[in-house]
Every structure is written in C-alpha cells, then in structure tokens.
Structure 1
Amino acid sequence: MIAEMRGQRPNPTISAISPPEPDLTPDQMIARADGMRDLLRERQAAAEAAGNISQETNQAMVDAGFYRVIQPRTFGGYGFDLPTYVRLVTAVARGCPETAWVLSLVLGHVHQLATYSLEAQIEAYGETGDFRAPEVAAPQGRGIPVPGGFSVTGAWDYASGCAHATHILLTFLVTDPQSGATTMRMGLFHRSEYEIVRNWEVIGMQGTGSDRVVMTDVFVPDYRAKPYPPFDAVPPAEAYAESPLFYGPARPFIVTESASVIVGAAEGALDLYEESFRARKATGPTGAPRQELAEYQLNYGRCRALVDTARAALLQTATDYMEIARRTHETGQPCSEEVFRRLTLVILQSIHLAHEAVDIIFRTAGTAASKKDAMLGRYWRNVGVLRGHLAHQSDSASINYGRTHFGQPPVGIA
C-alpha cells in the first residue's frame, strides 16, 4: 500500500554535520586500506561463496570512514578529492575486487545525490551523515502520479551493494495521464522500502551481491524523485560551496568508479604473480626458480609497465577532472561534451591496459591458476566480467568522441 506522507516537506535549513574524525588525512585513510589487504584476500573465497561481502567487512569500511571519502564535509564527509578516491578504491581492490566494487559504487553515488533537492539531501544524510546507496539507472519500474509524488512498483536487477545500504537510487518510468508522454525519474528510497531477491549468479564478481531489489506501491515524494538524466542540474550552492568535485561532468566520474576497481585488481593480480615467481620453480630441464628465468622476468616487466601506466593514466584523469570541476564551480560554465568524452576515453584506456596485464598474468602463471579455488584465477574472472560491462565499451565511446569532435551528434550506447 502507498505510505502516507508524514508532516510537511523537510526543512531546507542546513545543520552542518561533523565527520567522525575531523582531522583524518587522505594518506591516513589510504594507509588503512593498505592495512586491510591481507584480511581482504583471506575473505575473498568466502565472499564469492556467499554471493556477497560480509557484514564484518562492510562494517570495517564504515568504521574506517571509506564511504565518506568524497562526501561533502557539510554532510559529515571528509570532502577529499577524486585522486584520493582513486587511491582508496584501488587499494581495496588490490585485496579484493568484489569488496572494492561495493565500496566504489555505493560511496560514489553521493555524486548522483548532489543534484537532488536540498530537502532530499538533508533527509538522506540525516543527523550523522551515514549514507550508502546503490543505484540502478535502467528504468525497471513504473511510477503512478499521486498527490505529492509517485507510487512506484518494480523490480531492478544489478543492485550492487543493496544488502549494505542505507538508501537506494532507482529509475522508473512515469506516463503523464493527460498527454500520454513518458518520462524518467530517479527516486531516492530508504533501505526499509525494498526487498532483496537473490538472483546474482555469475562467473566473476559473484561476491558483490548485485541482486534484484523489488518494491510494490511505495510512495516517493516529488522532492525525492528528480528528472533523469538530470541534464544541466547543479548542486545546491549553499551546501556545496566548498565541494567543487560535484560540479564535474557525470560520465567520467561514473567510469572512474569502475576503472578504479579494475586497475586495483590488476595490481592485486600482479602481487600474486610475483609471489608465485618467488615460491615456484619452472618445470622442465632447468628446474630454476621462476624469478631467475628471462621469460618470466619479461612477462613480469611487461605487466608491471601496463599496470603502472593504467594507474598513472587514471590518477592523471582524476586530477584533470578536479581542475575541470573547479573551473565550473568558479565560472558556472559546464564542461564541454568533447572534453568529457575525451577524458572518458583515457579512463577506458586504463581499463584496457589493466585487462591486458591480467590476461598475460593468467595465461603465463601456469595451470595452478585455473583451479576453481585459485585466487589468481578469481582476479582473472573478476576483471574479465568487469571488462564486459556496458560502460566499458570503448569502441562506441571512441566513435562518439570522433562524432562530437567533428560536429556530429552521438549515436548508440556510449
């Protein structure tokens, strides 16, 4: 049944929320992520078997402040920049790509929240600033206009991190009863308003809990259901005066969320590759340790260069992103389509490089990497699944960059 509206719309007056550790620095946060690496590696198999990261792992990231890394300080976050975000997510992914995927997407959706009404944001962050929200951008639900908002029913697949959320962002279709026109809205819902149906069964990234969420006749008020995509929307200035990151273009940010996981996973695979060299001898006449043989040294060097270049490209685009965002914040002039598409292409190239490195690692590591419980095989499967994500299709992205550069409208999916 449709929930009754309680009281009036939220008071738009902002009461600043202090972060849990006001003096925490970016380097201290990254050091915490590095310190969790061994534990995350130990928990990989359990997460894959369970189809989700554990409550203990999630709580450890909450306690470490990871979910608040870029969240505005006004709303209880640390307000760090995008390069810090990249460093954090890659550090976690190095220990467990599935854990990093949950972290990266769930924390990254504060960027989406920033263009909701101020009332909705104050309500979502609450008194403590604890906000964790998956998002499903594909409109897999319907909204019926009712007084004050919409009654929403639907089933949304691929809701990564939905079991560890405080809220969720879901897109639904709305048909105007007079004109018959159909538009999209993205609703902001509380964790109590959806149920989870376990249907995530894949060969890689199984531990992300990317299950289906369902709801029936859930009321969402107008102020928590923004038009989607939010063309030309900007954050409320009174809450984001000191948060330029949120004035940057959406698409490069979205691709950075997943690219950070893939690059970090490649670093984790390279760690295992090196460990195997030090622990194993080559088969055949030489019987020498792998680390002493030229062919293994060559492959390690190639992969080291690929991973380091992927990381460097990703960090540089994050730095460029911040410069663009600050300029938009100061001048009000949005980033041009050509510039944000070009930035996205570099991010996608970092994914190519990381994927190439992991593929070389897997096919030269030996048969042991193919065992069902092999950690290196898990990294390879995880990166392979992520490489196929719709957002990572660089061919269509390259076509549309070229079309934009030469004055033609984009086509297709990217």
Structure 2
Amino acid sequence: MSVLAARIGEQGFPRPPEPGLTPADVITRAEAIAATLVERQQETEDRTFYASDTHEAFTKAGFHRILVPRRFGGYEFGVDTFMRVSMALTRGCPSTGWMYTLGAAHALAVATMFPERTQEEIFAAGDFVCPATVMPAGTAERADDGGWVINGTWSYCSGSPYATHFLGHALVSRSDGEPAPMMFIAPRSQWRRLDDWGQQLGLRGSGSHSITIDNGRVPDHFTLDGHMSEFSVADSAPGLRLHRNPEYGGGPLSFMNLESAVLAVGIARGALDAYEDLMRTRTTLFPPVVQRTHDPDYQFWYGEAAGLIATAEAAILNATQQWQEACAHGPATFTREFEMRIATICRQVVELSWRAVEQHLLPTAGSSAVRRGQRLERVWRDMSMLHTHAGFTVFLAAKAQRELAKARFDIEEVPR
C-alpha cells in the first residue's frame, strides 16, 4: 500500500494524524498544556510570542486541525470544542491563548466562505494557522494573469509568528472611483512579519505583529468581494454544500464575537486562579491575622468574583450552543437580528469577566500581588488591552446594541 493510500479513509478523505482522536481528548490535552504555560508567561512576553516547542505541542495535540474540515485531513470537531480549548489555554497564559485562538479560528471562516478550489489549495498541509484583520488597508490591483497584486501593511495580526496564511482586506478602486474592501488570503510566501510587537500595555506575548506585503500576488480565487463582517451565509455558503456540516454554514460575524468573549472568560479564570493561590498562602492585613481562606471579607470577594466568572462562562457556552443550533436550522437563521443578539451576549460576557477582575480581585489582592511580573498584574494588563480591541470597544460596546434594536424593529439607517 502506498503512503498516500494509507492516508485515505473510507470516505476518500485524507486521514488526520490521529484518526481515533476525540473532542474530549483535545480538551484534556489543552487543560494539561495550560498548566505548563503559567510559569512561562514572562518568557512569552519577552519573546513577544509563545515558544517553538509550545507551537509543536499544539500541533502534535491536534489544536491546529480542530476546525479544519475532514475533507482536508482535519478533525472537524466543531466550535464548542474549539471554544473549550481556547478557554483552557487562555486561562494558563492570556497571551498564548490569544495568539492560538486568533490564529486557528479562521479555518472556520475560510471553510465557510471560499469555494472548493481555494480550500483544496489552502488546506493542503492540514495544519492551518491564519491571522486575520478586519481593518481594510493597502491596495489590490489586477494583474495581467487575472489575479491580484497586493501592497500594504496590516497591524494586529495575532498568530503571525507561526502562520501559514494571512486573511486580510485590501481596498480596490471600483468603476465609480470609490474604494471598496476586498477580502484576500495570502500564503506565507507572499508576506513578511514585522518586529513591532511587545511594547503594548498587555498581551505582549500574543504575537500580534504587523504583516506587510510588497507586490504580493494572489490568484483571483483567493479573493472575495466585500468585508468579512458583511458576508451573508443566507446568500452563499460554499462550505455548507462542500462539507455537509452545518457549522460551515454559520455566520462569520457572530463567530468572531464568540472568540472575543471566550478569551475574556479564559483570562478571568486565570485571574481567579491567581487570587485563589493568594487566599491559600497569605494572611489578612489586619487583626485577627488569619489565612485569607478563613476571613469573611476575602471569602465574599472570592465568591463574588467566582460567581461573575461562572456566569460569564455559562453565557458564552450557551451562546456557542445557540450558534450551533442556528447552524443546524440552516443559513437563513443567521439574520442580522440573530447575529446582533449573539453580539450583545458576548458584550455582557466580557463585562462580567472584567467586573470580576477589576472590581473584586485586583483591588483586594494587595499591592505586592500586582507588582510587575506577578500573575495578577499581568492578567489585569491583558484584560485592559482586550478592552482597547476595536471588536470590543467599537463594535460590542457601542454598535451592536443599536444594530440589534434596528434589526428587531426593521429600522433603516436615517440620513443625518
């Protein structure tokens, strides 16, 4: 039997590295690996991205194939499995979890939106790491062969150090002279990563470097007109027809919002872990001097934060379930109203997570617990950085609520 034949399963699809791997297996692996990430947070920040041996461990564990379709040698385990893996890794190290999540998540979007020919080429290697940005930048011009020549620089490309591809938006001059966004996928050979990350307030190890493209060339079938946030699966969902899995017919916008929220929960759970360590190892500041676990005030602060975080976790897992159920009902379920309802849930998830850390854990931990390099100090910086992300500050915190109301009441935009 040839090597190729040995890799082909009963359905004619390439076998993944571990054909018997289950969703429970990868979640267990993520929780085990997460425990090892805690002590490596400082080196990850210093490097500005997680270590090569961590990347190899993620690859070996199957994390980069969770959302890759079975047709291309992926595990196709589903969004709920991906969210639990993301939450576990982020709990261990926010920067590492952020970098992994925003590098691996876009396998779902690519498998949903792009045609079969494109997917065959993009997923050829099986493992897939693809940062994406929503801010249109740079330019795209037609090449003589019908493809595109792309130039520009895109910031905040989380996951870029080990990326196989980049999913971005460039501006194209249309017939009326007005620039319009075009989505494109650029293989690793067409771009380079800039050394411009690590001086930010938080998430310094998230590998969120800029990507620059100088006269990069991509074929036409590596592009889609419009912006990812405006892609309607009700109008077109090539992945649903190709893979016959309803999750490749779900809305990319609502899935992107789920990503932001699950990261917030993971970070907050890490903060609670750090606070629990302080509860077990430190005493109260004023008489009676007792271990913090025995003090009513610390018991209350811990319980209040734990309740907020547990509520946030329950909400994000339920929102994920709603998203999956909507997929099962078909692309038509992903109306603007449904997408915005998921977005408003995600907004509250982030707020609950932030409130637990900012109002209860950080103020009561003690100043020595928030010295530079301490776990709780780092978590606070990381959550503060999350609050500056445009997906949260601009969309979830300001726009989603209005868009939900307008969709519910069928209100068109009123010119000013």
TM-score (norm 1): 0.91
Structure 1 counterpart of 2:346, one-letter code: I
SS of 1:159 mapped into structure 2:
coil
Q: Share of identical aligned residues, percent?
A: 32
SS of 1:208 mapped into structure 2:
coil
Which segment is superposed worse, 231-240 or 338-347?
A: 231-240
Cα 1:365–1:411 change in 2 (3 A) is farther
Taking only aligned residues, the RMSD between alpha carbons, in angstroms, comes to: 1.8
Identify the residue that residue 257 of structure 1 maps to in structure 2: 259
Cα contact 2:150–2:215 (8 A) shared by 1? yes
Structure 1 counterpart of 2:374, one-letter code: A
Identify the residue that residue 4 of structure 1 maps to in structure 2: none
Cα contact 2:246–2:327 (8 A) shared by 1? yes
Q: Indicate which of 45, 48, 62 corresponds to 2:45.
A: 48
Cα distance in 2 between the residues matched to 1:267 and 1:193 = 38
Identify the residue that residue 173 of structure 2 maps to in structure 1: 175
Identify the residue that residue 150 of structure 1 maps to in structure 2: 148
Cα contact 1:107–1:132 (8 A) shared by 2? yes
Cα contact 2:260–2:346 (8 A) shared by 1? no
Q: Indicate which of 234, 237, 260 corresponds to 1:234.
A: 237
Cα distance in 2 between the residues matched to 1:291 and 1:111 = 44
Tell me, which stretches of 5 or more residues in structure 1 are unaligned? 1-13
Q: State whether structure 2 residue 328 is matched by structure 1 residue 341.
A: no
TM-score (norm 2): 0.91
Cα 1:182–1:18 change in 2 (3 A) is same
Matches within 5 A, 1:7-406: 16-114=13-111, 115-126=113-124, 128-147=125-144, 148-176=146-174, 179-200=176-197, 201-229=199-227, 230-231=231-232, 232-241=235-244, 243-328=245-330, 333-359=332-358, 360-392=360-392, 393-406=396-409
Cα distance in 1 between the residues matched to 2:212 and 2:115 = 25
Cα contact 1:400–1:411 (8 A) shared by 2? no
Cα 1:206–1:238 change in 2 (3 A) is same
Give the CA deviation at 1:374: 0.6
Cα contact 1:117–1:236 (8 A) shared by 2? yes
Cα 1:341–1:272 change in 2 (3 A) is same
Which segment is superposed worse, 388-397 or 201-210?
A: 388-397
Tell me, which stretches of 5 or more residues in structure 2 are unaligned? 1-10
Cα distance in 1 between the residues matched to 2:288 and 2:324 = 52
How many aligned residue pairs are there? Answer: 393
SS of 1:37 mapped into structure 2:
helix
Structure 1 counterpart of 2:169, one-letter code: T
Give the CA deviation at 1:81: 2.3
Structure 2 counterpart of 1:395, one-letter code: A
Give the CA deviation at 1:237: 4.5
SS of 1:284 mapped into structure 2:
coil
Structure 1 counterpart of 2:152, one-letter code: G
SS of 1:283 mapped into structure 2:
coil
Cα contact 2:357–2:380 (8 A) shared by 1? yes
Cα distance in 2 between the residues matched to 1:194 and 1:96 = 28
Cα distance in 2 between the residues matched to 1:125 and 1:226 = 17
Cα contact 1:252–1:347 (8 A) shared by 2? no
Cα contact 1:98–1:206 (8 A) shared by 2? yes
SS of 2:412 mapped into structure 1:
coil
